[in-house]
Structures are given as structure tokens and as C-alpha cells.
Amino acid sequence: MSAVINHRKGAVTREAIIDRAYLMACSAGLDQLSIGSLAQAVHMSKSGVFAHFGSREGLQLAVIESAGLRFGNHVLVPALAMPRGLPRLRAIVDRWCDWVRHTSDGGCLYLAAVSEFDDRPGPIRECLLQHETRWRHELARAIQLTIDVGELHADTDPQQLAFEIYSLALIVHHDSGLFGYEPARERGLRAFERLIRSYSPTR
């Protein structure tokens, strides 16, 4: 019984460390995250933090995995409750724009991390690539379902439209920091509706 309790306590501690590390990485960048600074932030010894992750790279990978889970829970999971087709695709884009808001954690970890690691081969880049590929696949799948129910033209290329939608999410993120979230979101959603109309089966 004591072993089970200790395991649970260790898991809770690890999650608490990851939560703090995630916030630090959002604000300062994944590459700035270190065992030492994190240990100070969570009031633990370096060896205590190190024991949970094995290395700085292990910590960074854990933070990326946590970011992926947070993004999926915020964007994809609620959207999947909507009917297949445009209601679900609109919900994905709406939740994605809401994800950009980031009033409490400093910014999107993924966008910052990709800028940091896109030209640096290794496990971090590979992990980011896997997450990005998985998300593009989910987005393209939602688009394909919209085609299947007849709400997008039959010749729509799901991968191309996913690329274009992703481009809108990027500019919303970019502009929200410079010009304010609300106008960026409004313009992004208006652009999305124009984009969808260009793929209408009645065009």
C-alpha cells in the first residue's frame, strides 16, 4: 500500500512540476527551460527535479507532451461534440482562435518551440514534428468529413485547406499580440468564412 501511495504522490509531484515548467516555457521559451531554474521555482532541489525527468531534454519532452494534451483538450475535444461537417470545422477554428488568447500563460508554446527547434535535428524537433503532423491529420480529417457530408466541394484537397486554415491561425496569433486579441480573432473568423465559401459545393 505504501508503494502505491508513494507512486501516486510522485505522479502528482511530477504533474505539478510540469505545470510550472509549461508556464515558464510559454513565457521564456522551451530552450530557456532548465532543471536549475525550475527547481528554484517549485522549491525543490535540482536532484529532486532531475529524478522525475532524467535530463533537461527529458523535461522539455514532457512539457511538449503536456502542451499537446492541453491543446487537444481545449480545441479538439469540445469540437468533436459537434456534428460532422461545417459545425465541427467551425468549432475547431473557433476554439483554436480562443487558444490564441493566452492571457494567463504568456503565449503558445508550440509556435515558439518550432521557431527555436525547426532547424535543430534531435528528439525535441522530432517530438514537435510528430505533434504537428498529428494535428494536421486531425484537421484534414475534419475537412474530409465536411466533404463527405456535401458541405465542401468534392474536389477539395483536405491537406491544402488544412494548410490555409493553419495560416489563418498563425496570423491571428501574430496580430493578437501586436494589435489586440479581439480584432485579430474577428478578422481571422471572417477570413475563415470567406475561405470556406471559396470551397462551397455551389460555387
Q: Which domains does the chain have, with CATH numbers?
A: 55-198 (1.10.357.10)
- CB within 8 A of 170, min separation 6: which ones? 111
Average pLDDT value over all residues in the chain: 90
Identity of the highest mean pLDDT range in 7-16, 27-36, 72-81: 72-81
Q: Tell me how crowded residue 9 is: count the other CB atoms within 10 A of its CB.
A: 10
- Model confidence at 75, pLDDT cuts 50, 70, 90, reads very high
pLDDT tens string 14-39: 999 999 999 999 888 898 888 989 99
Instruction: Considering only residues 27 and 5, tell me which one the structure prediction assigns the higher pLDDT.
Output: 27
Question: Long-range contacts: 103-109, Cβ < 8 Å, 24+?
Answer: 103/181, 105/22, 105/23, 105/26, 105/27, 106/23, 106/26, 106/27, 107/26, 107/27, 107/177, 108/26, 108/173, 109/22, 109/25, 109/26, 109/30, 109/63, 109/64, 109/67
- Model confidence at 4, pLDDT cuts 50, 70, 90, reads very low
In the numeric block, which cell numbers belong to residue 97? 482562435
